[in-house]
Chain A
């Protein structure tokens, strides 16, 4: 604030402790401008977040009464694929046969399903490596070496509980928040 002028009042206008009224005005004005400027940044940043209509479309209701044992369906949740699979007894056994501790992302099948519905596996169809959609939900697709899902982009193999077993993905396929509103209906989100 090294403002100097030819105005002779400047030097004698100093009050106690050498604080000039002009210093106060300058600091107040610049602070107000700074705070006002920052306050404008918030809306400019916030406008890029999901808008109200996007947030409103953030639950998906799914009827799984027609889903046969061993079958999987692809649904859409927040514009992303969700895999819902009714596991066969073989697949459940296969998943439970693995020691959880030996896994990259240790979770049991029980952790990844809901009580009373251990045969229904709901996971996001989004590879945790870089976001591709893994294969294995549709009939005839490559299920990978562990008989679950296989991501063709960079070769991540998921097992029957959709846990990462081989390849670059860091974690298991994500289980979204969902609830059974009846025995045959789930609501995701």
Chain B
């Protein structure tokens, strides 16, 4: 992979030479996130979010492993063990708040990462595989987050488990058996809690594996960039280290400031007070909603209130899953020859004034009670959502006349490619 001008790793001493000949791990790192990975020189801060997502995954695994040392996955004591973590375990409050808010920030980061992909059409050839693996990672994240939310065994945990596994009841004929099989009972109880804990511990490592594939696939064509013009020459790129380690480091610093502001000062703002009430199978909270990051999809689920050939419940479930599955087909639904939204006037308008407001409306409706006018609004927004991906995007990308593209990244940055003399007046980097 990579470009011909990528700097080659040269072991500096006997030890790294020894390693390089046997297990070239330093070489791998050098070529992945070191000076050996040439990256387009014009990446904006929207390109920070991949690294931030990776950081969030590590953060969740580290704090999660710690929490698992103190948590007990038994319906009788799970709730108490979480309070034990909060009150008795040294720094337990920090670990739990870091983990709970870490989940929210992981999703925030991943949503920006995904919508960056929408706007810059990062899913287009030759990067389809990166995109497909990314959607798989997102689905795994949703499953992991859902099961993690069940573990504290509060009211929202319990009824969340009840409602989400209830989705499977919508499947004709075998639905109810599947739900009972998933839960290991007729309602969420010890069996469900234990398997959710087991899978909640397992899936992050599956995600980590998919992330490795995601990055591997990324490093074949190299990173995309805000112009969408492919790298042509050495002057279009900079070595990842030190340029993007520094830029990502700065972005990480900003991220951490906001994240810890929540962890330390607003730790419960993103959660639901009802989850501090122990699970009670005989009483449902009046207003039951998922965590904020599921709101848009929850709104789509609830938008179907009428039977049409199939029962309304089944439509809701199908639509909710289809809302994400449709992302798998994006590389083929978007037929435009140009990638970046900066050079696609019509595409850009539908992004900013179509998709983004639609997601915002779905977000608000997903968190609102299931009553009018929210039901009707979410029906309209759901209709637009599918219209956008399945109709508007293919048509717009076929008929649109894109703006002229710059000849190269260098021209986009410097105004003219002839001034692209980075290689001339630079000292050898990484010296």
Contacts and interface: CB of A to CB of B under 8 A. Distances in A.
B431 A43 contact: no
28 contacts: A2-B430, A3-B429, A4-B426, A4-B428, A4-B429, A5-B429, A6-B421, A6-B422, A6-B425, A6-B426, A29-B249, A43-B90, A43-B94, A44-B66, A44-B91, A47-B69, A47-B70, A47-B91, A47-B92, A49-B90, A51-B84, A51-B88, A51-B92, A52-B87, A52-B88, A52-B90, A53-B84, A54-B88
Counting chain B residues whose Cβ lies within 8 A of the other chain, the interface size class is 20 to 34
Contacts of B253: 29
B88 A53 contact: yes
Interface string A32-73: 010000000001101111011110000000000000000000
Interface in B228-268: 242, 249, 253
B89 interface: yes
Contacts of A52: 87-90
B18 to A, nearest CB: 24
Contacts of A6: 421-422, 424-426
A5 B90 contact: no
Contacts of B66: 44, 47
Contacts of B355: none
A128 B95 CA distance: 36
Contact of B89 (A5, A33, A47): A47
A8 interface: yes
Nearest to B427: A4
Contacts of A33: 249
A49 B88 CA distance: 11
Nearest to A55: B88
B387 interface: no
A53 B429 CA distance: 56
A contact face: mostly helix, strand, loop, or mixed: loop
Contacts of B249: 29, 33
Interface of A: 2-6, 8, 29, 33, 43-44, 46-49, 51-54
8 tightest Cβ-Cβ pairs between the two chains A and B: A43-B91, A6-B426, A51-B88, A52-B88, A4-B427, A53-B88, A51-B89, A6-B422
A72 B92 CA distance: 41
Contacts of B425: 6, 8
B95 A2 contact: no
B426 A47 contact: no
Contacts of B88: 51-54
Contacts of A8: 425
A44 B89 CA distance: 11
Contacts of A29: 249, 253
B52 to A, nearest CB: 15
A62 to B, nearest CB: 25
Interface string B276-293: 000000000000000000
Contacts of B427: 4
Given A3-B242, A8-B425, A53-B84, 6 more contacts: A6-B421, A33-B249, A43-B90, A44-B62, A47-B90, A52-B87
A46 B69 CA distance: 13
A4 B431 contact: yes
B90 A46 contact: yes
Contacts of A48: 69, 90
A21 B84 CA distance: 49
Interface in B383-431: 421-422, 424-431
A29 B430 CA distance: 19
A49 B253 CA distance: 30
Contacts of A54: 88
A3 B429 CA distance: 7
Nearest to A54: B88
